[in-house]
Amino acid sequence: MERRRKVVSKLNFLTKDNVVLDLDAKNQKDAISQLSNVLYKNGILNDPKQFTEDVLKREQMTTTGIGKNMAIPHGKSPTVKVPSMVFAKNKRSLDWNSLDGSKVNMIFLMAVTTKPDSGKEHLKMLSHLSGKLMDDDFVAKLKKTNDKDEILKLLQN
């Protein structure tokens, strides 16, 4: 019997409405709060304030600033209706306690439900995104473009 591995080939947790190209956050907490509000506005969350608190608690455990001016904050919260992600480019670079010491201006905020199988969804998102972010050409294209459709295309291929 042949066993097939299921491969996630598309990042289907991100929609055009969840791409923000002109975030104007003043600091890390403000960025997470503003992006939580985007998720709330788009029907992903029931309570953006609670989700922000949950993400900030997670941030206290260890940094999500992965280097190359990027961060992947994430939170598992009962306020999340469906697993999702919001991507943002901030107008200024923010202190994020990144692994390489760089400031952050690109943020991928992941929202994960507290349902029993939510860990799988979280790992799918993180695995796909991490693979993409290890590709220097991909990162360069992502930094360069300011077109939502192009960003979705880059992330979903």
CA distance 102 to 68: 7
Can you tell me the mean pLDDT for 92-114?
Answer: 94
CA-nearest of 75, 135, 65 to 104 is 65
Give the strand pairing for 84-94 and 74-76. Answer: unpaired
CA distance 93 to 48: 23
The pLDDT tens digits of the residues spanning 19-30 come to: 999 999 999 999
Task: For the chain, report the end-to-end CA distance as a whole number of angstroms.
Answer: 30
> Strand, helix or coil at 46?
coil
pLDDT at 10: 47
- Per-residue pLDDT band for 128 (boundaries 50, 70, 90) equals confident
pLDDT at 5: 34
pLDDT at 12: 66
Domain boundaries, the chain: 16-156
Q: Which CATH architecture has domain 16-156?
A: 3-Layer(aba) Sandwich (3.40)
pLDDT at 119: 64
Q: What is the mean pLDDT of the chain?
A: 88
- Per-residue pLDDT band for 135 (boundaries 50, 70, 90) equals very high
9 HSE (CA, 13 A, CB side): 4
CA distance 17 to 152: 10
- Per-residue pLDDT band for 146 (boundaries 50, 70, 90) equals very high
The pLDDT tens digits of the residues spanning 41-93 come to: 999 999 999 999 999 999 999 889 999 999 999 999 999 999 999 999 999 99
